[in-house]
Amino acid sequence: MTQLHELDATAQAAALRAREVSSVELVRHHLDRIAAHDGTLGAFVTVTADQALMRAAEADERIAGGAAPPYAGVPTAFKDLTFTKDTRTSMGSAAMRDFVPPVNAYVVDLVEQAGFISLGKTNAPEFGLSSYTDNDLVGPARTPWDTTRNAGGSSGGAAAAVAAGLVPLAPGSDGGGSIRIPASACGIFGFKPSRGRVSAGPLGSDWSGLAGDGPLTRTVRDAAALLDAMAHPEPGDVRPLPEPPVPYATWVGREPRRLRIARWSRTHLEGISPSGESIAAWEQASLVLESLGHDVVDVDNPFPQELEPQFNVIWSSGIASAPIPAEADAALRPNTRYWRDRGRRATAVDLSRAMQFLELTTRQVITDLQPYDAFLTPTLAMPPQPVEWFNESGDPAEDHHRELQFTPYTALYNMSGQPAASLPLHWTAEGLPVGVMLAGLPGEDGPLFSLCAQVEAAAPWRDRRPPGFA
């Protein structure tokens, strides 16, 4: 018999509409799973059980009245970097442990308007700065495939929760790979939309053009549905893309034409190479794409190494300008102080040059990539790593170097603004998930969904679940 948490969000919504289950039952089932498993996983910072059950009862009334939104009563959870009114949002930082935002992020309002019910706030590293999830509030988020290993970051709690069936899907955010990295480490699907697809308002800022929100799910159709809820431009957005003319859920049902897909596995960073498992996943994905009739073409990595130091100027300037009270300095983690101090050393001229370099360089890259429809690389250069691996040296500079060894691919698409997805197509002999990344041209989120859905149908993964979390 299928358990409720084995259903994806689309199937859960259908069961609710058919009155096969109530939202109160569905929410309580997932809250029970959080209580049973989160002590092992570290997926949540805050659980809002009473609020969720109250909203579930309201959803049941709306469903009975026939006037409910499409995902009324389906559980989800918001990342602890995403502002949620009247709910603690600590930004993964002990310095912010009691912060309660005065308003919701627009993305929270949009997801809740679609009917989803939040069960709480998912774990994230301090201010989302790292590609692994650990903090001084609840500790690390762990992949359910091997709980000695980190879930990846910065949306690690969200990915772990989805992979373990604590929620069917969850929004994440991605400024350098923070959706795709944990999707790979947790064996689920993660989609970073094109720049400007999802609003950062009303109080958030995408001044650098690097970050955006997107879905973490077990199925491509759920990711499309969640992005359909999120992808609406709001007043004052700096880089808004227009309302999608065709829902992404419709794109999932469309068979893509024969595509020309460029692939590369060499990183743009000297001295950093992908592991054998990352190459095996990439080769496996290439065979699947070719079996579907697509032309897969080997090309050189089009992104130059010079992007890395310029990206670091922008990344560090962001945390250096964050309004963190001086008295909170002692509560910050060494990694946060490392990036803040780097940002403080950068001048306004340094920042301006870095932003112009990224814009001009990635514009040329995208121009050169016009003959192709999609792009295939590994998601990560390594399988999920032990919890202590990233910062065991105690040296934040070594921490940063290990992050580059782990994830040399994902941030490139934040710089270029392209949509990109991590697909869980490969597992090691030890049972660790290793994702592959498919990307599209800027603004081509819909065609990328079609391709991902086609790959999912040819090499399905939805029923593969981590042992111990069935």
Residues marked as catalytic: 79, 154, 178
- 295-298 and 260-263 as β-strands: parallel, antiparallel, unpaired? parallel
3-state secondary structure of 431: coil
DSSP conformation letters of 66-122: T---TTTT-EEEEETTS--TTS---TT-GGGTT---SS--HHHHHHHHTT-EEEEEE
Q: What b/e readout covers 363-385, taking b as 16+ CB neighbours within 10 angstroms? A: eebeeebeebbbbbbbbbbbbbb
For the chain, the distance separating the N- and C-terminal CA atoms, rounded to the nearest angstrom, is: 12
Half-sphere exposure of 369 (CA within 13 A, CB side): 27
Cα(424)–Cα(53) distance, integer angstroms:
32
Q: At what angle do helices 49-65 and 23-41 cross, to 10 degrees?
A: 150
Nearest CA among 126, 122, 191 for reference residue 157? 122
Question: Before 202, cis peptide (omega within 30)?
Answer: yes
Other C-beta atoms within 10 Å of 179: how many? 33
